Structure 1
Amino acid sequence: MLKGYTLPRTPRGTSSLAPTPPWHYVGNALAVEYAADPKAAAAFLPAGLSLASNRCAAYFIEWQYSSETEEEFLDPVRSQYRETIILLSAEFEGSPVAYCPFIWVDQDVSLMRGLIQGWPKQFGATWITRAYGLPSKANPAIGPGGKFGATLSVKDRRLIEARVTLRELTDALPTPNFAKAVNVRYFPELTAGKHQKPAVHELVQLKSRDVMVSPIWKGEAALEILDHPYIELPDLRPTAVSAGYRFSFALTVDDLTQLKDLRDTETASD
């Protein structure tokens, strides 16, 4: 009997790209709140969601991951990765949610875990300023005046540049954030005649547990989204930038909720 949570499934089941949940995460995040053109933002929302506001957020995160074995971080290449996430402010049946139109990651196992959850992950190279807690000109302070930068490059093209200067502690996370995030799980058909009728197309809400957040530092920020020949992220470039943030957080993922089967929606619109 073949075993494994994801492909490849093998006799012992240890070769699967992503192991069986729960999945445990901890990360350092740099985030920028900004406003985008509301018509452009609304155009990215799937059926079932409506635009709550034109407020968006770009997150740059350096993650470390572990399964229940708590062994992956002892082989860091299995555990560490960096990610850039774009979130839009949306509503589902009158309740505020976040929606992710774009997300880039640099590890295949993270890409697989994300696709299972409905995150639309692609490969990209994220770089983030690190802090080491020592008084050095090479080390930014996690406190007033601390300066941090982040970049994203996709297919060898620079796509995002961000800078944050910390000023004060705050009790509020950036908006939108990951609480009540809604994703689309989508898996297409290859059978002739069914290319427009996916095997899986559903709106889901993520369910995280054991969430912990460090002190949150806030300050001014700059964000630039650069042109790209085919990635449509520049449609969501900032019309205004409001604030930047730096914080650490941890969470565990092993569940989600199906909100809506979108296959019927698409059939009705065909």
Structure 2
Amino acid sequence: MLKGYTLPRTPRGTSCLAPEPPWHYAGTALAVEFVADPARVAAFLPAGLEPADGRCAAYFVEWQYASETGEEYLDPVRSQYRETIFLVSAGYEGEPVAYCPFIFVDQDVSLMRGLAQGWPKQSGSTWVTRAYDLPSKATPAVAPGGRFGATLAARDRRLAEATVTLREPGAALPTPNFARAVNVRYFPELAAGRHGRPAVHELVRLKSRDVMMSTVWKGEATLAVFDNPYLELPDLRPTAVLAGYRFSFALTVDDLVLLRDLRGDDPA
């Protein structure tokens, strides 16, 4: 019998890209809160979500991961990855939620876990300034005046770059954030005559547990989103940048909630 939570499924099941949940994460994020054109933001929302005010956030994250039975961080190439996540504000049945139209990651293992959750992951290169507990010109301080940068590129083209200058600790998280994230799980059909009716098309709400948060630092920020010949990310270009943030967090994922089967909204 073949085993494995994801493909490839093999006799022992150790070759699959993502093992069975729970999945444990720790990360440090540099985030920028901004406003985009509300009409353009609304155009990205799937059926079941209501437009909001155009408020968005970009998260540049360095992650470390472990499975329930493994210590993948002892083999860092299996555990570490970098990711850029764009979230937009929306509503679901009158309640505020976040929706992710774009997310870029540099590890196929993370990409597979994300697709299972409905994150629309694709390959990309994220770089984020690191901080070290030493007084050196080579590191910013996690303190008032500390300056951090982040960049995103995909397929040899730079897509976005950001800077954050820290001012004060103890701030609330940026909005939108992951607390009420809603995703779309989508897997298409290849059989002739069924291309317009996917095998899976679901609106889901993410669930995390054992969430822990460091001090949240807030300050000024810049964010530039660059033109691209095919990616529609520039449609979310900031019309105003509100604030920047830096914080670390940890969480565990092993569940989600099905909100709506969207296959009835697809053409036959």
Please give the TM-score of this superposition, normalised by the length of structure 2.
Answer: 0.99
Q: Which residue of 2 aligns with 1:133?
A: 133
Q: Which residue of 1 aligns with 2:196?
A: 196
1:95-110 correspondence runs (5 A)? 95-110=95-110
Q: Which residue of 2 aligns with 1:111?
A: 111
1:230 pairs with 2:230: yes
Q: Report deviation, 1:52.
A: 2.0
**Which amino acid is 1:244 matched to?**
G
Q: Report the 3-state secondary structure (helix = DSSP H, G, I; strand = E; otherwise coil) of the residue aligned with 1:257.
A: strand
**Which amino acid is 2:226 matched to?**
L
Per-residue CA deviation, residues 142-172 of structure 1 (Å, 9 max, x unaligned), is 0100000000001000100100000001330
Q: 1: CA distance between counterparts of 2:139 and 2:39? A: 41
User: Gaps (5+ residues) in structure 2?
Assistant: none
Per-residue CA deviation, residues 228-250 of structure 1 (Å, 9 max, x unaligned), is 01000000000000000000000
Q: Report the 3-state secondary structure (helix = DSSP H, G, I; strand = E; otherwise coil) of the residue aligned with 1:42.
A: helix
1:75 pairs with 2:75: yes
User: Gaps (5+ residues) in structure 1?
Assistant: none
Q: Which residue of 2 aligns with 1:156?
A: 156
Q: Report deviation, 1:66.
A: 0.1
**Which amino acid is 2:73 matched to?**
F
Question: What is the RMSD computed on CA atoms of the aligned residues?
Answer: 0.7
Q: Report deviation, 1:180.
A: 1.2
Q: Which residue of 2 aligns with 1:147?
A: 147
1:10 pairs with 2:3: no
Query: Moved runs in structure 1, 4+ residues, more than 3 A?
Result: none
Q: 2: CA distance between counterparts of 1:170 and 1:94? A: 29
Q: Report deviation, 1:265.
A: 1.7
Q: Report deviation, 1:9.
A: 0.7
Q: 2: CA distance between counterparts of 1:155 and 1:171? A: 35
Q: Which residue of 2 aligns with 1:239?
A: 239
Q: 2: CA distance between counterparts of 1:13 and 1:189? A: 26
Q: Report the 3-state secondary structure (helix = DSSP H, G, I; strand = E; otherwise coil) of the residue aligned with 1:179.
A: helix
CA contact (8 A) 2:171 2:218 kept: no
Per-residue CA deviation, residues 95-137 of structure 1 (Å, 9 max, x unaligned), is 1110000000000000000000000000000000000111001
1:34 pairs with 2:34: yes
Q: Which residue of 1 aligns with 2:183?
A: 183
**Which amino acid is 2:88 matched to?**
L
Q: Report the 3-state secondary structure (helix = DSSP H, G, I; strand = E; otherwise coil) of the residue aligned with 2:56.
A: strand
Q: Which residue of 1 aligns with 2:265?
A: 265
Using the aligned pairs only, state the percent identity.
76
**Which amino acid is 1:224 matched to?**
A
Q: 2: CA distance between counterparts of 1:195 and 1:22? A: 33
Q: 2: CA distance between counterparts of 1:89 and 1:70? A: 36
**Which amino acid is 1:110 matched to?**
S
Q: Which residue of 2 aligns with 1:214?
A: 214
Per-residue CA deviation, residues 48-77 of structure 1 (Å, 9 max, x unaligned), is 001122100000000000001241000000
Q: 2: CA distance between counterparts of 1:170 and 1:244? A: 13
**Which amino acid is 1:117 matched to?**
Q
Q: 2: CA distance between counterparts of 1:14 and 1:138? A: 40
Q: 2: CA distance between counterparts of 1:143 and 1:57? A: 22
**Which amino acid is 2:241 matched to?**
V
Q: 2: CA distance between counterparts of 1:233 and 1:170? A: 31
